[in-house]
């Protein structure tokens, strides 16, 4: 007789209608208007970069999971979203090998090496950009600005703000993270480094705040942790990454903030239901942080595991 496997989870259970596929496809669709404006601004070469990036991301994840005997997950949209996020970080006239290399690194190292979607520590697209900037600095940072860039930049930022607003309204992303990140970054840049607002927006802080910084696997668990995470990312972006911050500094700043997430989760852990001190069922003044959690019986007495 074959033994059945039963998963035991703690109560209470809360069923939600959201899924990984709905979150990924919603974010993908909200990014499409910004992609269309980018193609309008930079031409057919940008269209080729977007198409090749999405195709490479989906193909790389499918092949890696197939040969490692893992279930295929290309229908949930996370690979499509990853390819689109990588494309936004590449120059519009990038050679094909740079686009392919960036997506292979994002999928193979940034996602699958850590266990797949939902298990990574660093944002995969930003990790791929950091790798490309270190391996191919001239090619990965060679941006040719068109003559009508100012008008296209206004439309692009408006599309990003609209997409971010939709994600916040649908509760796909937490509003505190982009709010505190942009607020702290703008205050430091404008008042302490004397950067103009137009110059700050050219760093790409808006898409980074709404679509890269809010990646749930790389976010802290608690609300306080997410606020400190956003503030830390802002300080790393415009404070610790050099006197004149730029797009590359923003990438490294968010990756450094991702590295601080385990520390924030450990220091700002939430109070567990049933945690008590001296059998009172409440946390007292002399309670030690990180004390052992014991279950409470129906009568209110503390059960021991002797």
Which tens digits make up the pLDDT trace of 99-123? 999 999 999 999 988 887 778 899 9
List the Cα angle 136/141/146 in 5-degree steps: 145
Is pLDDT above 50 for 4?
Answer: no
Mean per-residue pLDDT, 209-225: 90
pLDDT, mean over the chain: 80
Q: Where are the domains of the chain?
A: 20-172, 173-270, 275-306
Is pLDDT above 60 for 270?
Answer: yes
Is pLDDT above 60 for 83?
Answer: yes
Give the number of other Cβ atoms within 10 Å of residue 287's Cβ: 15
pLDDT at residue 269, as a whole number: 74
Distance, in Å, from the CA atom of 228 to the CA atom of 225, rounded to the nearest integer, reads: 5
Is pLDDT above 80 for 91?
Answer: yes
Mean per-residue pLDDT, 183-209: 76
- Whether pTM exceeds 0.75: yes
* Alpha-carbon torsion (248, 250, 251, 257), positive or negative: positive
Give which of 114, 117, 98 is closest to 53, Cα–Cα.
98
pLDDT at residue 204, as a whole number: 79
What percent of the chain is modeled with pLDDT above 70? 74
Q: Given phi > 0 = left and psi -120 to 50 = alpha, else beta, which region is 204?
A: left
pLDDT at residue 205, as a whole number: 85
Give which of 206, 222, 210 is closest to 177, Cα–Cα.
210
Reported as a pLDDT band with limits 50, 70 and 90, residue 296 is very low
pLDDT at residue 246, as a whole number: 54
Which residues, 6 or more positions from 277, have their beta carbon under 8 angstroms from its beta carbon? 283, 284, 286, 287, 291
Distance, in Å, from the CA atom of 65 to the CA atom of 84, rounded to the nearest integer, reads: 20
DSSP calls for 176-208: HHHHHHHHHHHHIIIIIS---HHHHHTTTHHHI
pLDDT at residue 200, as a whole number: 66
Reported as a pLDDT band with limits 50, 70 and 90, residue 33 is very high
pLDDT at residue 152, as a whole number: 84
Please report how many Cα atoms fall inside a 13 Å half-sphere around the Cα of residue 246, on the Cβ side.
Answer: 4
Distance, in Å, from the CA atom of 52 to the CA atom of 104, rounded to the nearest integer, reads: 12
Is pLDDT above 60 for 27?
Answer: yes
**Across-strand partners of 302?**
296
pLDDT at residue 249, as a whole number: 66
The CA–CA distances, whole Å, from 287 to 67, 137, 279 equal 50, 52, 12
Is pLDDT above 90 for 151?
Answer: no
Is pLDDT above 70 for 276?
Answer: no
28-32, 165-169, 236-240, 285-289: lowest mean pLDDT where?
Answer: 285-289
Please report how many Cα atoms fall inside a 13 Å half-sphere around the Cα of residue 222, on the Cβ side.
Answer: 14
Reported as a pLDDT band with limits 50, 70 and 90, residue 230 is very high
pLDDT at residue 185, as a whole number: 85
Give which of 290, 286, 296, 285 is closest to 271, Cα–Cα.
290
Distance, in Å, from the CA atom of 34 to the CA atom of 205, rounded to the nearest integer, reads: 14
Buried residues in 157-167 as b, exposed as e (16+ CB within 10 A): bebbbebbebb
Q: Do residues 119 and 132 lie in contact, with contact meaning Cβ atoms separated by under 8 Å? A: no
Q: What is the CA radius of gyration of the chain?
A: 22
Reported as a pLDDT band with limits 50, 70 and 90, residue 227 is very high
């Amino acid at each position: 007789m074959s033994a059945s496997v039963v998963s035991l989870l703690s109560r209470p259970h809360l069923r939600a209608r959201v899924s990984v596929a709905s979150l990924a496809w919603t974010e993908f669709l909200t990014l499409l208007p910004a992609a269309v404006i980018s193609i309008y601004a930079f031409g057919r070469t940008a269209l080729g970069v977007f198409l090749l990036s999405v195709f490479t991301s989906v193909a790389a994840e499918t092949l890696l999971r197939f040969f490692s005997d893992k279930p295929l997950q290309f229908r949930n949209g996370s690979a499509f979203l990853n390819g689109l996020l990588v494309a936004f970080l590449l120059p519009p006239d990038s050679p094909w090998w740079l686009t392919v290399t960036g997506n292979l690194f994002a999928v193979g190292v940034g996602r699958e090496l850590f266990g797949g979607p939902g298990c990574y520590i660093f944002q995969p697209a930003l990790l791929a950009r950091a790798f490309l900037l270190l391996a191919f600095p001239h090619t990965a940072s060679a941006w040719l600005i068109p003559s009508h860039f100012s008008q296209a930049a206004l439309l692009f930022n408006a599309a990003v703000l609209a997409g971010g607003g939709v994600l916040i309204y649908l509760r796909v992303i937490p509003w505190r993270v982009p709010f505190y990140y942009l607020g702290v970054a703008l205050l430091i840049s404008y008042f302490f480094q004397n950067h103009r607002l137009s110059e700050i927006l050219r760093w790409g802080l808006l898409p980074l705040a709404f679509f890269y910084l809010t990646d749930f696997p790389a976010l802290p668990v608690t609300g306080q942790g997410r606020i400190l995470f956003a503030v830390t990312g802002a300080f790393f972006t415009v404070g610790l990454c050099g006197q004149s911050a730029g797009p590359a500094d923003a990438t490294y700043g968010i990756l450094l903030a991702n590295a601080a997430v385990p520390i924030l989760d450990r220091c700002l852990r939430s109070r567990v239901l049933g945690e008590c001190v001296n059998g009172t069922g409440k946390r007292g003044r002399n309670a030690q942080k990180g004390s052992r959690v014991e279950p409470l019986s129906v009568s209110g007495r503390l059960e021991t595991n002797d």
